[in-house]
Amino acid sequence: MLSKQIKTNNSLPHSLYCGQQIKDFEGQAAVLASTTLYELMTRAGEACYGVFKNHFSDAKQLLVLVGKGNNGGDGYIFATMAKEAGLSVQLCQMGHSTALTGNAAQASRAWEKQHGVIEGIEQADFTRADVIIDALLGTGLSGNVSPEYQSLINKINQSAKRVLSIDIPSGLNADTGAVSNVVVKADVTVCFVGLKQGLFTGRGCDYCGQIYFSGLGIEEQFTALSTSRVTRISYSDLAYLLTPRNRCSHKGSFGKTLIIGGNLGMTGAVRLAGEAALRTGSGLVKILTREESRFALLAGCPELMVNAFDLQKKDNRVLYNWATNLVIGPGLGQDDWAKFLFDLILGSDLATVIDADGLTLLADNPHCKKNWILTPHPGEASKLLGCSVEQVEENRFTAVRNLQQRFGGVVILKGAGTLICDGRQIYLANVGNPGMASGGMGDVLSGIIGGLLAQGLNLQQAATFAVCIHGLAGDLAAGQEERGLLASDLFPYIRKLVNPSC
């Protein structure tokens, strides 16, 4: 049974921090809580042992690998507790234990007092271990892992043993979630004091396994001292935004979403966006498309209204005289027809969602506006920022901030651990699954955002809630079968999720 002080899954804190914030305020928080840093190290080791007992109750043989800093000190405390409990523990130290200083050295002495043996890394027996404890590198890592650690981490991963990482998988960047040359692939990660933002986005999602958290008794003091720049959000946090409808409502009460796209051969994208807006609750949804696309759209979803736009007539009244909000990009294309419509919406004051080809046109013709939501995936983000996809993924937090500063409005950077930036705060949503890496998923997200805007949510509310609805609908639709998931499979679940009180 886990201690109430140890949290996981839905009980994890919402605030996320970078490694430097932990370093700057951990000591001050300890003073305010009338405790010492060594006591915090002891609590960290105890928390890890509690998680270990809960998660790996069958394990008898442990291999504890400790580094040269405080992360290694946590490992020594863990090893001491495991040995006292009668488990077989092999502890191997990177470098000589005499090089340890401060609290880590004190923790190593406590281990030796229990007649614990300190062996070298070259003596580590991976074959006998039921579980490996990774206490090698903490949150201070920047750049690549040194060769000595790289070789050891490769052995950990190649052993195929279950792994518990202390505070962060060794080799992972705590601030960005970027992977250096090698990273421990953990089954469980136990995080302390403040949740590290890099655990929840980008490649970090692939290496942490199940995340547990302990504030070590100073969480309240730490939170008071340090301002979180990133906030985790979930569907349950935002479900209050959609309340039951009044009995006297009519379709005009819930907005009119105009979706622009569906160029030649790309009708499916705009159809998906349109139906998503309807399923989300937009009162009316109209598609502005090519003449050649009209009948396919009407036949596929008769609830959609469809207008053809003739470039020769250039009648833009539909943008200003009917819609309450706009979505542009799904199946838009990049020809003269698409460019004309994109230039037209640049002059609109309506709340606008820009996706897909709309983002490519924006990259070619940059503008900054307050009243839009941009929804790039990393490839589209790289075009907007004029950099490589790799540079975007190296630091997704910086990328989404730069996008918002350059283009304004609210920016959604899609991917594992989707980020939403409104210029003041970054929100992170841990929803969705690899099955959603399929055509049309982004079009559905754009439609959901449009449907929420139509019902009166502001840009930040619509962006954050739409990401949560979209991702959770994908998770519910996939279940345990991610491969073969279609964008249209989300529609029944979207309808349930936009009726949270039912």
Q: What is the pLDDT of residues 145-154, one digit of tens each?
A: 889 999 999 9
Which pLDDT value is given to residue 43? Answer: 96
Residues, the chain:
502
Q: What is the pTM of this model?
A: 0.94
Which pLDDT value is given to residue 10? Answer: 86
Q: Is residue 1 part of a domain?
A: no
Structure tokens at 452: 């929420």
Q: State the Cα–Cα distance between residues 107 and 99, nearest whole angstrom.
A: 13
Q: Is residue 458 part of a domain?
A: yes
What is the band of 319 on the pLDDT scale with cuts at 50, 70, 90?
A: low
Residue in 211, 180, 203, 64 with CA at minimum distance from that of residue 133:
64
Q: Is residue 35 part of a domain?
A: yes
Answer yes or no: do 265 and 223 share one domain: no
Question: How many C-beta neighbours within 10 Å does residue 139 have?
Answer: 27
pLDDT at 375 over 90: yes
CATH number at residue 16: 3.40.50.10260
Answer yes or no: do 382 and 455 share one domain: yes
Stretch 5-17: mean pLDDT: 91
Q: Is residue 241 part of a domain?
A: no
CATH number at residue 273: 3.40.1190.20
Which pLDDT value is given to residue 2? Answer: 66
**Per-residue pLDDT tens over the stretch 161-187:** 999 999 999 999 999 998 878 999 999
**Beta-sheet pairing, 418-421 with 410-413:** antiparallel
**Beta-sheet pairing, 162-166 with 131-135:** parallel
Answer yes or no: do 150 and 282 share one domain: no
The amino acid sitting at 211 is I
Any residues with CB less than 8 A from the CB of 145 and at least 6 apart, and which?
137, 153, 170, 171, 180, 181, 182
Q: State the Cα–Cα distance between residues 200 and 438, nearest whole angstrom.
A: 22
Which helix (H) or strand (E) segment is 15 a member of? strand 15-17
Answer yes or no: do 126 and 46 share one domain: yes
Which pLDDT value is given to residue 313? Answer: 73
Q: Is residue 325 part of a domain?
A: yes
**Per-residue pLDDT tens over the stretch 474-495:** 999 999 899 999 999 999 999 9
Which pLDDT value is given to residue 257? Answer: 97
Any residues with CB less than 8 A from the CB of 269 and at least 6 apart, and which?
261, 262, 330, 331, 356, 440, 443
C-alpha R_g of the chain:
26
Q: Is residue 242 part of a domain?
A: no
DSSP one-letter code for 8: E
Provide the 3-class DSSP secondary structure of residue 193. coil
The alpha carbon dihedral of 447, 451, 454, 456 has a sign of negative
Contact 134, 170 (CB under 8 A): yes
Provide the 3-class DSSP secondary structure of residue 336. helix
Answer yes or no: do 269 and 303 share one domain: yes
The amino acid sitting at 63 is L
pLDDT at 316 over 60: no
Residue 485 Cα distances to 73, 100, 121, 490, angstroms: 45, 51, 45, 9
Q: State the Cα–Cα distance between residues 238 and 235, nearest whole angstrom.
A: 5
**Beta-sheet pairing, 305-308 with 284-289:** parallel
Q: State the Cα–Cα distance between residues 64 and 415, nearest whole angstrom.
A: 34
Alpha helices in 351-388 (DSSP H): 357-364, 378-385
Contact 412, 239 (CB under 8 A): no
pLDDT at 271 over 80: yes
Q: Is residue 198 part of a domain?
A: yes
Answer yes or no: do 259 and 178 share one domain: no
| Chain centroid, CA 458 distance in Å | 22
Residue in 494, 444, 477 with CA at minimum distance from that of residue 279:
494
- Kindly report the CA angle at 11 between 10 and 17, in degrees rounded to 5? 100
Answer yes or no: do 89 and 142 share one domain: yes
How far is it between the farthest Cα atoms of the chain? 88
Contact 52, 59 (CB under 8 A): yes
Q: Is residue 237 part of a domain?
A: no
Burial 270-290 (b: 16+ CB within 10 A, else e): bbbbbbbbbbbbbbbbbbbbb
Answer yes or no: do 88 and 121 share one domain: yes
Provide the 3-class DSSP secondary structure of residue 429. strand
- Residue ranges of E strands in 111-266: 118-120, 131-135, 162-166, 188-192, 195-196, 210-214, 230-233, 256-260
What DSSP letter does each residue of 37-65 carry, written as one string? Answer: HHHHHHHHHHHHHHHHHHH-TT--EEEEE
In the structure, how many helices (H) and strands (E) does the chain have?
19, 20
**Beta-sheet pairing, 418-421 with 131-135:** unpaired
Q: State the Cα–Cα distance between residues 286 and 297, nearest whole angstrom.
A: 11
Answer yes or no: do 389 and 476 share one domain: yes
Answer yes or no: do 119 and 220 share one domain: yes
Q: State the Cα–Cα distance between residues 255 and 270, nearest whole angstrom.
A: 18
Q: State the Cα–Cα distance between residues 185 and 138, nearest whole angstrom.
A: 15
Which pLDDT value is given to residue 261? Answer: 97
What is the number of structural domains in the chain? 2
Which pLDDT value is given to residue 501? Answer: 72
**Per-residue pLDDT tens over the stretch 223-266:** 999 999 999 999 999 999 999 888 888 888 899 999 999 999 99
CA dihedral 305, 311, 316, 322 (to 10 degrees): 0
**Structural domain of 480:** 252-497
Provide the 3-class DSSP secondary structure of residue 411. strand
Average pLDDT of the chain is 93
| Chain centroid, CA 476 distance in Å | 18
Among residues 170, 196, 228, which one ends one of the domains?
228
Answer yes or no: do 316 and 368 share one domain: yes
What is the band of 46 on the pLDDT scale with cuts at 50, 70, 90?
A: very high
